[in-house]
Amino acid sequence: MTARTNTRTGIARYQQVYTVLSQALATGNIAAGEALPSEPTLVRQYGVSRTTVRRALARLAAEGSIVRRRGSGTFAKSGLEKSGATRKVTRLLDDLRRVGSNTRSKLLAFERVSTPDFLLREWPEFGERALLIRRLRSIGDDPVVLATIYVPEDLAPLLSPRRLGVDTVLVALDKLGHRAVTADQQTNAVAADPFSAQHLQCPVGAALLNVRQLARDAKGHILDFTNFVYRPDCYELHVQIERGNGRRARVPR
């Protein structure tokens, strides 16, 4: 039985093998200095041709992730694993700024738009018009998260790019007296489309962590809807769940 590498996916087979191997290298599943499986082993493991394996390895070698030594094999280069400074394990709804002081935020869009249908269908109270904010957050030179935020029209006049600064929308609204007290989150994996791939500097089709979140204030008014797309090698989501009567369920401090 072979893995389902096939050409019908729109992703070349060498690209599929490349993706899986770079993940193994980035996570340390293949540790620094350790030998990669031999070419014939990879051929069997992934059910692809020798040429495909070679092309994937050539790409890893070209970007300096592996070293090929004639006669002795292929080895993982050191220093590929994300350092502690970059790799963040963060709790639900955390403000990314709290986990590192060198985070940067780049505003990609700040404009009034018609509220997209998917928001109106689920939450008609969102209103016909909304403020769209799109921003990219980075830690050092690594882009970490691309956020697309919709704020209902009635709150839009309170916000400006300057007022937002480096704050998250929820923090900015909090400072203006609109405090989020409940949030509904959905978490899943998505394939990078060309837009997120470009901003997060990853290949199209790469696995990204997606969080969609709707926040409300104490009266139940919607404050914002945010679609986050995270690079998983830089960010993980952490939740602690206590059993029992459910009263103690909490997100760790």
| Residues that contact other proteins, how many (by CB under 8 A) | 95
Give yes or no for residue 231 binding other proteins (CB under 8 A). Answer: yes
Measured from the CB atom, the residue of 157 and 250 that comes closer to other proteins is: 250
CA neighbor of 171 nearest in space, from 118, 227, 95? 95
Say whether residue 28 binds other proteins (CB under 8 A): yes
Q: Does residue number 3 form part of the binding site for other proteins (CB under 8 A)?
A: yes
Helix (H, G, I), strand (E, B) or coil at 122: helix
- Please give the C-alpha separations between residue 203 and each of 16, 25, 85, 127, 143, in angstroms, as whole numbers: 11, 16, 23, 36, 13
DSSP SS3 for 93: coil
Does 108 interact with other proteins (rule: CB under 8 A)? yes
Chain residues 118-137 in contact with other proteins, contact rule CB under 8 A = 118, 121-122
Decide if residue 6 touches other proteins (CB under 8 A).
Answer: yes
Measured from the CB atom, the residue of 41 and 160 that comes closer to other proteins is 41
Site for other proteins in 136-165 (CB under 8 A): none
Q: Is residue 105 a contact residue for other proteins (CB under 8 A)?
A: no
Least separation in angstroms between residue 45's CB and other proteins is 5
- 226 within 8 A of 216, measured Cβ to Cβ: no
Which residues lie below 8 Å from residue 122, measured CB to CB, with a gap of 6+?
A: none
Contacts of 51 (CB under 8 A, 6+ apart): none
Task: Judge whether 53 and 17 are in contact, CB under 8 Å.
Answer: yes
Give the three-state DSSP class for 60.
helix
Whose tokens are 């791939």? That residue is: 197
Quick check: helix, strand or coil at residue 231?
coil
Q: Which of 51, 102, 114, 182 binds other proteins (CB under 8 A)?
A: 182
Does 192 sit near other proteins (CB under 8 A)? yes
Instruction: Give 193's DSSP letter.
Output: P
Nearer to other proteins, 16 or 74 (CB): 16
- Residue 152 CA to its chain's centroid (Å): 25
Report the residue from 33, 49, 63, 114 that binds other proteins according to the rule CB under 8 A: 63
From the CB of 159, what's the least distance to other proteins, in Å? 19
For position 210 contacting other proteins by CB under 8 A, the verdict is yes
> Closest approach of Cβ 150 to other proteins, in Å?
11
Give least dist CB 166 to other proteins, A: 16
Q: Which segment (71-79, 124-132, 149-157, 205-213) binds other proteins by CB under 8 A?
A: 205-213
